[in-house]
Amino acid sequence: MRKYLSLFLLIFTVFFSYAQTEKTVDIRQFYNSNFKKSPLIAYYYYKDVNNYFTPFIGTWIYQNGNQTFVIRFWKETKASYINENPKYYIDELRAHYKLVQNYGQSNEQVIYTSEKNVGNSVTPWPTIIAAGKALENYKMTGIVFDVAGVLNPSYPTGVRGNLEMTINPDNPDTAQWEVTLPMGMRGLGQPKTFTIPTNITLTKVNQ
Amino acid sequence: MLLALFSCELEEEVLQKNNYRENIKIRNSTFDALLNEQHFVNAISKLSKSKPAQSKTVMEAEYGFTILPDQVKVLEHKGKTFYTFQIKREVQNPDYFENLVIDTDSIGQTDAYLFKYLPTEPLAPSEEHDSFHFKGAVHITPITYNIAIAEKELHCVTATVMMCDQSWSGSGSTTPHVATQYCNNPNHLTEVTTTTCDMTAGGGSMGAGAGGWFGANQGSQGSDPGGGHAGAGNGSGTAPGSNTNPPVLTAPVFDLDQITKCKTISKQMAKFPGLKQSLIDLAATTSDSHENGIFIDKSATAETPDPVQTVPVGSGGTIDINLNPPSKYTMIAHTHDISGTDGTGTFSIFSSDDMATISNLIQLGKIDTGDFVFYVFTADGTRYAITINCTSCLEAFCYPCNENLAIGTVLDMPRVLQINALIDQTYNKADGIHSQSDPVNDKKKFLEFIKEANLGISLFEVDETLTAFEKLELDPKTKNVIKKPCSN
């Protein structure tokens, strides 16, 4: 009887332990609708296993006269969504931008920055790019929030745009930055004009 | 030895369960058909305090509901008969549905209860079984009359709700669903026992009591409600108050069309005879270099000469919908034009911003969600309609949405990022929905989006004459798109 009970407990413990496990998979599986998730896996971790994020990490600038658009990318390793539904971990390319007058000079002045709170809330933007990812080593995509314009309190996240950033294969320190307005019906008065640059060539200034 | 004893006990329990289930008979009927059964006439006469032939019973008037007469489930067990009706109220809350259960025994003792079912997941039909899946909470209110406050006392009602995991077609889903007369194998009947305690109240109040919860994966696989087995018996000690009555036996009744929503579309078409032509005319404008839109609001009646109004075209070629209309929208239709917002072409199906705007309008209380139909006609030649099954699900999609955030508000930023990740998964990648993507694949992508983002909507494909509607679903096993024609 004890043997049966021990065996039962062992099987139960093994099964329960296994059911709690986390599994690391290629981030591309997050975007693969045919990816079959196992019910035994508690959390998947969608990881940048090929280090495709690496070429994007660092500070990029675009200079127009004495104004410079500066965007800084970093890799958020294993961002947690286990308190949301669906539950998972994922690597993300995150970023913040700013527009600076006389960038790098003693009289430098910030004209706008995304490093601020969302609307009138007390919650800071953790990143101004959502779902930032590179599934190849030269192109990243994501959703960028344009919060540079005058705040319309009814729309605290500003104008949402689709972002595509493509590194020039012949000169990996330059990249094309493109932001487009997603298609769709909107509310009367909803802002849909971008203040941030929408089609520029960025230059990488540090890693 | 213990294991052997345990096995014996299990075997005995299984026999009891099978015996219990075999003794349950489930059949479908209608109110009119039941009026030919003396047992039912006696029961409802006692409860109604009026003749059943009258248009509305006292019970309905006092509790503010109307019995829907077309579908009644009759459950019989050990000399007791339980009649379950769906009921409706003048102002219907789409977040729950209600049943009236009349419980009568062989000597004519009769009681009635209101069952309020609150789904925590969108209700899903299992049409081949003439049933549906339900997961959520249930609250039971006994029907009583003219009880003075001083006479009110804590009263607990235990109910056994019958579910079923039988696959009738042999190859269909075995996911537990509400039991119907087709669940003819007692081994697949599942009882879920729930208790609600409340101060017995008159006047139709749905008092705050301890409601039960059950769902597809919470079904207590066969506890004999009469046997007192742990966790699911008749008044098994889980509830305060005295409850010596055997459990009320029921299986939820719900008009499946409230899930499939085919009738929502056809009723609207029938109510506004000019709507079909207006939609056909709108669909013919997709070659314009901007979106076009029309709408009907709740102020329009069948007699309104021209119920269809135009949505003004805004800047950037998209339509700008009034978020503060004088009446709620019951229909919005729009085009995805050949140019698109960036000149690269159209989306063949609804965009995430389309859905966010509808979500926003729900948050603002500007959508008549029960009757609402949302159309898109695209330059790819595709035509789709959407109806709302779960208001709270779609309402939650847009976040933070058209909100004047009070100073000091704390936002759930992981939620903001995750919603946008879901949008990005669907729309912003090579094999997602975009202006150059394959419309056939777009359908599948959008159905996946509905599921992942928990939008709580039904999607229909529409023919060019606006006559044939097919409900689109994803096959849970093959992930292929299934088309289910609306028969009306």
Question: In sequence order, which residues have a C-beta less than 8 Å from that of residue B343 and are 6 or more positions away?
Answer: none
B341 vs A180: CB contact, 8 Å cut-off?
yes
pLDDT computed for residue B48 by the predictor: 65
The answer to whether residues B313 and B183 belong to one domain is no
Residue of B2, B291, B349, B353 for testing the chain A interface, max A β-carbons within 10 Å: B353
Domain that holds residue B407: 261-485
The answer to whether residues B248 and B392 belong to one domain is no
Strands (E) in chain A, as ranges, are 22-26, 43-47, 58-64, 67-80, 88-101, 109-113, 129-134, 139-146, 159-167, 174-180, 186-187, 199-206
Alpha helices (H) in B53-153, listed in sequence order: 58-63
Does residue A21 or residue A171 have the better pLDDT?
A171
Does residue A164 or residue B123 have the better pLDDT?
A164
- Count of domains observed in chain B: 2
The answer to whether residues B6 and B137 belong to one domain is yes
pLDDT computed for residue A62 by the predictor: 98
pLDDT computed for residue B50 by the predictor: 52
Nearest CB to B400 within list A4, A79, A157: A157
Q: Could you report the predicted ipTM of this complex, rounded to two decimals?
A: 0.87
Residue of A29, A115, A186, A194 for testing the chain B interface, max B β-carbons within 10 Å: A186
pLDDT class for A34, splitting at 50, 70, 90? confident
Does residue B469 or residue A137 have the better pLDDT?
B469
B427 vs A154: CB contact, 8 Å cut-off?
no
For A51-206, CATH number?
Answer: 2.40.128
The answer to whether residues B6 and B142 belong to one domain is yes
Task: Record the pTM.
Answer: 0.68
The answer to whether residues B433 and B469 belong to one domain is yes
B403 vs A125: CB contact, 8 Å cut-off?
no
- Which SS3 state, helix, strand or coil, does residue A25 take? strand
Residue of B428, B451, B477 for testing the chain A interface, max A β-carbons within 10 Å: B428
The sheet that has B136-142: what strands, in order across it? B25-29, B66-77, B80-88, B97-104, B110-119, B136-142, B212-214
Mean pLDDT of the residues in chain A: 90
Query: Which residues from A are below 8 Å from B336, CB to CB?
Result: 183
Distance from CA of B310 to the nearest CA of A (A): 14
The answer to whether residues B239 and B288 belong to one domain is no
pLDDT class for A35, splitting at 50, 70, 90? confident
The answer to whether residues B297 and B220 belong to one domain is no
**Predicted confidence pLDDT, tens digits, chain B (488 residues):** 443 433 434 344 444 555 666 688 899 898 888 998 998 988 888 776 554 445 567 788 788 888 888 889 999 998 899 999 999 887 767 678 999 999 999 888 888 999 999 988 877 776 556 788 888 889 998 888 655 555 567 778 889 999 888 765 544 566 778 888 887 777 888 888 888 887 664 333 333 333 455 554 443 333 333 332 222 233 333 333 444 568 899 999 987 766 667 888 999 999 999 999 999 999 999 999 889 999 999 999 989 999 999 998 887 778 889 999 999 999 999 999 887 766 677 899 999 999 999 999 999 999 999 899 999 999 999 999 999 988 888 999 998 886 667 778 888 999 999 999 999 989 877 788 988 899 999 999 999 999 889 899 999 999 999 999 999 988 877 888 988 888 65
The answer to whether residues B238 and B282 belong to one domain is no
A187 vs B404: CB contact, 8 Å cut-off?
no
Domain boundary, last residue among B254, B274, B292: B254
B428 vs A141: CB contact, 8 Å cut-off?
yes
Domain boundary, last residue among B254, B274, B298: B254
Query: Which residues from A are below 8 Å from B356, CB to CB?
Result: 184
A183 vs B314: CB contact, 8 Å cut-off?
no
B338 secondary structure, DSSP code: S
The answer to whether residues B289 and B320 belong to one domain is yes
pLDDT computed for residue B370 by the predictor: 86
The answer to whether residues B247 and B354 belong to one domain is no
pLDDT computed for residue A179 by the predictor: 96
Which residues on adjacent β-strands are paired with residue B131?
Answer: B126
pLDDT computed for residue B12 by the predictor: 46
The CA–CA distances, whole Å, from B392 to B10, B95, B189, B191, B455 equal: 42, 7, 31, 28, 9
Q: Report percent pLDDT > 90 for chain A.
A: 68
Query: Which residues from A are below 8 Å from B334, CB to CB?
Result: 185
User: Which CATH number characterizes residue B475's domain?
Assistant: 3.40.140
B418 vs A84: CB contact, 8 Å cut-off?
yes
A118 vs B448: CB contact, 8 Å cut-off?
no
Phi, psi values for residue B482, rounded to 5°: -105, 140
The answer to whether residues B164 and B197 belong to one domain is yes
Tally A–B CB contacts below 8 A.
Answer: 166
pLDDT class for A2, splitting at 50, 70, 90? low
* Alpha-carbon gap, residue A9 to A34, rounded angstroms: 36
The answer to whether residues B167 and B275 belong to one domain is no
Query: Which residues from B are below 8 Å from A122, CB to CB?
Result: 407-410
pLDDT computed for residue B78 by the predictor: 87
User: Domain locations in chain A?
Assistant: 51-206
pLDDT at A139 > cutoff 90: yes
Range B230-260 burial, b when 16+ CB lie within 10 A, else e: eebbbbbebbebebeebbbbbbbbbebebbb
